[in-house]
Structure 1
Amino acid sequence: MSEAREWSRVDTARFVRAATRDDDKYSRGVVALRTGSPAYPGAAVLGVEAAWRAGAGFVRYAGEQRVIDAVLARRPETVGGPDTGRTRVGAWVIGSGTDPEERTDAEARALREIVSGTAPVVIDAGALDLASGATAPVVVTPHAGEFARLRERLGLADADQDTAAEVRRMAAELHGVVLRKGARTLIAGPDGPVIAVDAGTGWLATAGTGDVLAGVLGAVIAANPCAPLAEVAAAGTWLHGHAARIAAGVGGGGTGHPIVALDVAEALPLAIADVLS
Structure 2
Amino acid sequence: MTAKDWTGRDAARALRRPTGDDDKYSRGVVGMRTGSARYPGAAVLGVEAAWRSGTGMVRYVGPARAQDLVLARRPETVTADGRVQAWVIGSGTDAAEREAAETAALRGILSGDVPVVADAGALDLVPAASAPVIVTPHARELARLREALGLTGTAASDEGERLRAAAATADALGGVVLSKGAVTIVAAPGGWVRRIETGTPWLATAGTGDVLGGVLGAVVAAAGAVGRTTLEDLAACAATAAWLHGTAGTAAAARLGVSGGPITALDVAEALPRVIAGLLGPQ
Normalising by the smaller structure, the TM-score range is over 0.9
Aligned partner (choices 221, 238, 241) of residue 236 of structure 1: 241
Mean Cα deviation higher: 221-230 or 122-131: 221-230
Show structure 1 runs of 5+ residues with no match: none
Q: Which runs of 4+ in 1 moved over 4 A?
A: none
Deviations 1:117-165 (A, max 9, x none): 0100000011100110110000000001111121122221122652111
Match of 1:58 in 2: 57
Q: Residue 19 of structure 2 aligns to which amino acid in structure 1?
A: T
1:37 is aligned to 36
**Identity of matched residues, %:** 61
**Is 1:142 equivalent to 2:137 in the alignment?**
yes
- Is the aligned partner of 1:91 residue 2:101? no
Please give the residue correspondences for 1:196-207 in structure 2 after superposition, counting only pairs within 5 Å: 196-207=195-206
Is 1:111 the counterpart of 2:115? The answer is: no
* Structure 2 residue aligned with 1:264: 268
Tell me the equivalent position of 1:100.
95
Tell me, which stretches of 5 or more residues in structure 2 are unaligned?
Answer: none
Deviation of 1:255 (Å): 1.1
8 Å CA contact 2:112, 2:131 repeated in 1: yes
Mapped partners of 2:167, 2:23: distance in 1: 37
SS at match of 1:236: helix
Counterpart of 1:247?
252
Q: Which amino acid aligns with 2:137?
A: P
**Cα deviations across residues 217-275 of structure 1 (Å, max 9, x unaligned)?**
00001111215111111011101111111111179x93111100000001110110110
3-state SS of the aligned residue for 1:80?
coil
Residue number in structure 1 paired with 2:190:
191
May I ask how many residue pairs the two structures share in their alignment? Answer: 271
Note the alpha carbon deviations across 1:83-103, whole angstroms, 9 max, x for none: 2xxx32110000000010111
Change (3 A) 1:36 1:17: same
CA spacing shift, 1:65–1:221, aligned 2, 3 Å: same
* TM-score scaled by length of structure 1: 0.95
